Amino acid sequence: MAADKPRGCFISSGRAILMTLLVCVVIIAVALIVFFSTTSAQNGLDHGKGDYSGSLVHTTDSCQYDPIVPAQWLHRKLGQIRDADNDDCMRILDAGTYMDGHDLYLKGHIPNALFYNTSQCLFDPQGRVGDLPDEECFQEYIRLLGISRNTHVVVYDRYLNIVASRIWWTLRLFGHNKVSIVDGGMSAWTRLGYNTSLYSPRVKKTEFRIKHNPSLLVDFDDMTAIVKEKTAQVVDSRDPKEFTGETTTPGYKTGHMPGAINVPLKEVLDTDDTIKPPGELKQIFADRGVDLTQPIVSTCRTGVYSTTLTAIFFSLGVDNVASYDGSWQDWSRRATDDMITTG
């Protein structure tokens, strides 16, 4: 009697061999898909169940441009970039600190990041971070940074997200909506143990053109009408004692705009300086009397911290928000006494 033929992937019939091999390939492919899907979820690629705690939970990856993204998201994206010098899909910007930070950039930064000079293109060379840049100069500067209309700009800083938020707001003001803030900035990056770099990409100049988005900006005249007519909620991010007038700031009157709601920036930040989760943020705003379904104008002392609030509102899906660029430094010097209140 002939020996039994081996069963499985190796049998004698040519047709059977082909069919069996095909079945084996399909089984292996399915197994690999299941394996990598499980691994991706465990590594946080499923944003709804990711390992990022203490900040915003993001439900998108690359199709939409979330206002605020966790450092883990950027770390994964960097793994997909092969040539930083010629990659125009994403541009990472290091915004440094409130005053400068270029020296810190030179000592180490997130890989592929370029340094963003916050004093570049200001009307006054000694101007604040909160000053709006000269438009033609800004347009040329953005081109030199290799940013085009198709570029996703990812910006981080080394100071409570506020400098990055200002850049996020400025880019959107000038018509570039593909911009995200790295939550927690450089502190979050290093705290997670991710590598830093000393290399600065050599990018190609682009043809970026400014396109205004006036809905994001409120000036003094706009603010006066809003306060008088109560057409929007005014959310002030200053310290509570400064808001009420208990403490004074040299060069400024004390108090706040009539009807303004105080939501100090520190209340929306966690202990690690990342932004609190959406549920907590919504509760904080609700407790303070902020209606997220109604128009909002964010303000602060100089027009910088307010943009962080604006970015947070956008991250919650609230887009009827503008920032008062002059903020309290402008209001306290120009408003009449009946337009300033204390307590």
> Quick check: is 26 in a domain?
no
- Give the rounded percent of residues in the chain with a pLDDT score beyond 90: 69
181 in the same domain as 77: yes
> Quick check: is 1 in a domain?
no
> Quick check: is 52 in a domain?
no
199 in the same domain as 76: yes
CA distance 182 to 236: 23
111 in the same domain as 147: yes
Domain termination residue (choose one: 212, 238, 254): 212
Residues 6+ apart with CB under 8 A from 233: 261, 290, 291, 294, 295, 296, 297
> Quick check: is 40 in a domain?
no
> Quick check: is 314 in a domain?
yes
Q: Taking 90 as the threshold, does the pLDDT of residue 212 lie above it? A: yes
**How many domains does the structure of the chain reveal?**
2
Q: Taking 50 as the threshold, does the pLDDT of residue 44 lie above it? A: no
Q: Taking 70 as the threshold, does the pLDDT of residue 209 lie above it? A: yes
pLDDT tens for 119-160 read 888 755 554 556 789 999 999 999 999 999 999 999 999 988
189 in the same domain as 252: no
CATH number of the domain at 124, please. 3.40.250.10
163 in the same domain as 119: yes
170 in the same domain as 249: no
Winning range, highest mean pLDDT, from 16-25, 52-61, 143-152 = 143-152
193 in the same domain as 315: no
155 in the same domain as 245: no
Nearest to 312 by CA among 301, 300, 302: 300
233 in the same domain as 173: no
> Quick check: is 31 in a domain?
no
137 a catalytic residue: no
The neighbouring-strand residues paired with 181 are: 68, 155
CA distance 92 to 327: 29
202 in the same domain as 77: yes
> Quick check: is 152 in a domain?
yes
Q: Taking 80 as the threshold, does the pLDDT of residue 84 lie above it? A: no
278 in the same domain as 334: yes
Chain CA centroid to CA 188, Å:
13
> Quick check: is 243 in a domain?
yes
Per-residue pLDDT, 159: 86
CA distance 67 to 61: 12
Domain termination residue (choose one: 163, 193, 212): 212
Of the two residues 293 and 56, the one the predictor is more confident about is 293
Of the two residues 5 and 293, the one the predictor is more confident about is 293
203 in the same domain as 317: no
Domain that holds residue 160: 68-212
Catalytic residue among 9, 24, 137, 300: 300
Domain termination residue (choose one: 163, 189, 212): 212
